[in-house]
Structure 1
Amino acid sequence: MAKRGNGEGSIFKRANGRWYSALTYRDDFGEVKRREVSGRTQAEVRAKLRELRERVEAGAPVKDASITMAAWLEDWTTKALPASDRKQATIDLYATIARSHLVPKLGSLPLDRLRPSNVEALVLAKRRAGLSASSVRTIYAVLRAALDVAVRDGLIQRNPAALVKRPAVERKDAGYLSAQQAEALLEAVRGDRLEALYRVMLATGLRRGEALALHWRDVDLDAAVVRVRWTLSRTSAGLELGEPKTEKSRRTVPLPVPAVETLRAHRKRQAAEQLAAGSLWQASGLVFTSEIGTPLEPRNVLRRFEALAERAGLRGVHLHTLRHSAASFLLAAGTHTKVVQEHLGHSSYAITADIYSHVAPAQQREAADKLGQAIHW
């Protein structure tokens, strides 16, 4: 019989038929810790003890790989996830998905017993539950991210989610407005307190969070440009100003003449609101604010806009539709896709080309017509 190492307890069998033992050790702070391991055989338990002892001696993180997925996901969402460089809104989303989708389906499984088949079953169950393809893919991505950390910490040797093909998402052409619909929408928002916001978003293709985070110091009406430096989002900590998600998102966007005129008029209206608010006014420096100068709640802005769009007879039109429409108008006018990519702040040319592929046929027809006119056939 093999000799027990320092700190190892005896290996014994419980009534449930499984074998157990434990290792007692001191952590980096000198505190005495005790970690229990279990297995179907004595040999399995002995191997786990040996691995655990080696990790302790090497100063590696020591966690029990047999903990449940629920316990691991709780550990991940409260420690590794918040410590990552993800934006707070993303951290909140991932934590919500872990609680709402991963724990109910996988929570009772031991971390080290999760298999690719369990991941496939999760994906299938979510599809059958009627979730969209993009939602299913996001759930998969969250699980894979959590398991990546488990691999990093040495709890499991490989990520079972990485062995499962990422759920496919059917590509759909981005929803956009025709020129006639855009004119109808502009008429519907005329006179609304946030009219300037909607007009600027349509003229620039800014994301909702980017537009709501615009500061006057980043607006140069004489040069007719706005500089995108911040984004506003609702997180568990409240409304939060953060940096754009990618370096490409930090950009300078030119303003067409109508947008410059809109912003000049809006600045005068905001000054009048500040005067009316008196001591209640909060000097945030934001371009688009509440009646007392505070940031606008993104969800309220969305609901307000959708109600106005419905009034114009435009169902299914969202704030993001303004961004897609701006890009479509630029491409239809012959603007090079690379320029549109930089205008929108996409991280790659391929993203822009893929999302707005619906504009390509018209451009191809125009190119063919020009070729036909250029040559005497």
Structure 2
Amino acid sequence: MTEGKRTRRPNGRSSIYPGKDGWWHGYVTVGIKADGKPDRRHVRGREEHEVTKKVRTLEKERDSGLVRKAGRAPTVAQWMETYLDTIAARRLAPKTLYDYRSKTENWIVPHIGRHRLDRLLPEHLDGLYAAMLKAGKAPSTVLKVHRVISRALKIAVRRGKVARNVATLVDPPSLGYTEQAQFSREEARKVLAAAQGRRNAARWSVALACGLRQGEALGLRWEYVDLETGDVKVWWQLQRNVWQHGCDDPHACGERLHRATCPPRCTRHASRCPQRFGGGLVFRRPKGKSRRQITMPASLVEALREQRKTQLVERHLAGDAWRDLDLVFAESDGSPIDQKSDWKEWAALLADAGVRQIRIHDMRHTAGTLLVAQGVHIRAVQEILGHSDVRTTEGYTHVASEIARDAAARMDSALWGGDD
């Protein structure tokens, strides 16, 4: 082949030739550009076999539909900003989006943000995860960061920014088994007994009997509670979203604690920003199968009837100050109960009941455990708790000790018991 002379290939076929600059060059047609012209990609190398290998790789990517679009690939930091601001922001709940941003700004960008997206390697992710574990972060946190990266790269592949999702080539840390905390039947009864006489006493009955999450219980409205049939629609939840800074200039709000390096999204002082937005207590619909209808036990229905009577008295006493949000469990003026206040009330209740301190969410585990222990079918438990995957519900079966003891007693009788 004559030096510097390109070998023409008909019908858009690839070409390889030596250039006057001392390099070997290769061109591969991978598609058509937006303007209708052929999208020809260029590779080069010092040796012909090196360029030939690169050309064949491009051809394989083209034939498999994995070739990225023309133009310089963005850095990981640039793509994460695009993904969070224009893609994830339309699909994720505010609290989830905030969690994604936090993990991106604290871990992803500082460690791998400068790498070009198309040059990101599995080893880079391994290094990030190792650094997180060395810093004392729990494997669950590392796994969440891995999922954020993986979802962002999945979209990048769809958009043609990269040819592959390198996160799928990495084994994230395994969580192992985490023992769930729950009350025994005796402990649960002590809690309900200690709740009698307190404001919103039925709030704890709802959680223990129906397995409602904290946000679902605090967001429950009378409109969705039928005291005749005992049916309740768990269609709303109360959440506290993080405030976002509304000033283009962090100093514009007059908050003296702001620093010059404070980013526009800073939430540290956003709650005091006059132009803040997006935060505070809000009502949101549960996602997936969490939007469900369940039937309450008769005793719980009666407790809610008493709750309704007490609330009507409080409404009358509040007069014009009453906030009519139709909440089943509310403050004395009808306003929503803040989650922090709910936590404090829960801790005080457990202290009065003389039982060990567990999380509010562990009432949900208690409900699942008691349902399984009473012999309720696992699919019915799944519907009551709103699990999208029955495997999550099956996690309660190992703690149903009463069933296990009954089975052992029956086997003892079968093998070692006396004849009838």
Query: Shift of the alpha carbon at 1:371?
Result: 5.5
Q: What's 1:289 paired with?
A: 330
Q: What's 1:243 paired with?
A: 285
Q: What's 1:369 paired with?
A: 409
The secondary structure found in structure 2 opposite 1:220 is coil
Is 1:349 aligned with 2:396? Answer: no
The answer (yes or no) to whether the contact 1:277–1:291 under 8 Å persists in 2 is: yes
The secondary structure found in structure 2 opposite 1:223 is coil
Query: Shift of the alpha carbon at 1:337?
Result: 1.8
User: In structure 2, do the counterparts of structure 1 residues 158 and 299 end up closer, same or farther at CA, with 3 Å as the change threshold?
Assistant: farther
Distance 1:76 1:349 in 2: 31
TM-score (norm 1): 0.78
Amino acid at match of 1:295: P
Distance 2:117 2:234 in 1: 43
Query: Shift of the alpha carbon at 1:112?
Result: 2.3
Query: Shift of the alpha carbon at 1:299?
Result: 3.5
Query: Shift of the alpha carbon at 1:201?
Result: 0.8
For structure 2, the 5+ residue unaligned runs are 7-32, 36-42, 63-67, 243-277
The secondary structure found in structure 2 opposite 1:339 is helix
The answer (yes or no) to whether the contact 2:368–2:396 under 8 Å persists in 1 is: no
Using the aligned pairs only, state the percent identity.
34
Give the structure with the larger helix fraction.
1
Query: Shift of the alpha carbon at 1:274?
Result: 1.4
Q: What's 1:10 paired with?
A: none
Q: What's 1:75 paired with?
A: 82
For structure 1, the 5+ residue unaligned runs are 4-26, 31-38, 55-59
The answer (yes or no) to whether the contact 2:76–2:117 under 8 Å persists in 1 is: yes
User: In structure 2, do the counterparts of structure 1 residues 162 and 272 end up closer, same or farther at CA, with 3 Å as the change threshold?
Assistant: same
Q: Relative to structure 2, which stretch is displaced further, 138-147 or 310-319?
A: 310-319
Amino acid at match of 1:240: V
The secondary structure found in structure 2 opposite 1:347 is coil
User: In structure 2, do the counterparts of structure 1 residues 257 and 157 end up closer, same or farther at CA, with 3 Å as the change threshold?
Assistant: same
Amino acid at match of 2:325: S
Q: What's 1:253 paired with?
A: 294
The answer (yes or no) to whether the contact 2:194–2:349 under 8 Å persists in 1 is: yes
Query: Shift of the alpha carbon at 1:89?
Result: 2.2
Q: What's 1:198 paired with?
A: 204
Of 75, 88, 100, 1:94 maps to 100
Q: What's 1:268 paired with?
A: 309
Query: Shift of the alpha carbon at 1:61?
Result: 7.3
The answer (yes or no) to whether the contact 2:372–2:396 under 8 Å persists in 1 is: no
The one-character-per-residue Cα deviations of 1:194-216 (angstroms, maximum 9, x if unpaired) are 32211211121111121122111
User: In structure 2, do the counterparts of structure 1 residues 356 and 371 end up closer, same or farther at CA, with 3 Å as the change threshold?
Assistant: closer
Within 5 Å, give how 1:163-174 maps onto structure 2.
163-174=169-180
The answer (yes or no) to whether the contact 2:200–2:307 under 8 Å persists in 1 is: no
Amino acid at match of 1:341: Q
Would you say how many aligned residue pairs link Structure 1 and Structure 2? 333
Is 1:224 aligned with 2:230? Answer: yes
The secondary structure found in structure 2 opposite 1:241 is strand
Q: What's 2:17 paired with?
A: none
Q: What's 2:146 paired with?
A: 140
Query: Shift of the alpha carbon at 1:2?
Result: 9.3
Query: Shift of the alpha carbon at 1:295?
Result: 2.3
Distance 1:97 1:317 in 2: 27
The answer (yes or no) to whether the contact 1:140–1:167 under 8 Å persists in 2 is: no
User: In structure 2, do the counterparts of structure 1 residues 2 and 110 end up closer, same or farther at CA, with 3 Å as the change threshold?
Assistant: farther
Query: Shift of the alpha carbon at 1:166?
Result: 3.1
Of 292, 296, 317, 2:358 maps to 317
TM-score (norm 2): 0.70
Amino acid at match of 1:75: T
Within 5 Å, give how 1:38-187 maps onto structure 2.
64-65=72-73, 67-84=74-91, 86-187=92-193
The answer (yes or no) to whether the contact 1:81–1:91 under 8 Å persists in 2 is: yes
The answer (yes or no) to whether the contact 1:115–1:160 under 8 Å persists in 2 is: yes
Within 5 Å, give how 1:16-55 maps onto structure 2.
none
- Pair member with larger Rg: 2
Amino acid at match of 2:180: A
Is 1:335 aligned with 2:342? Answer: no
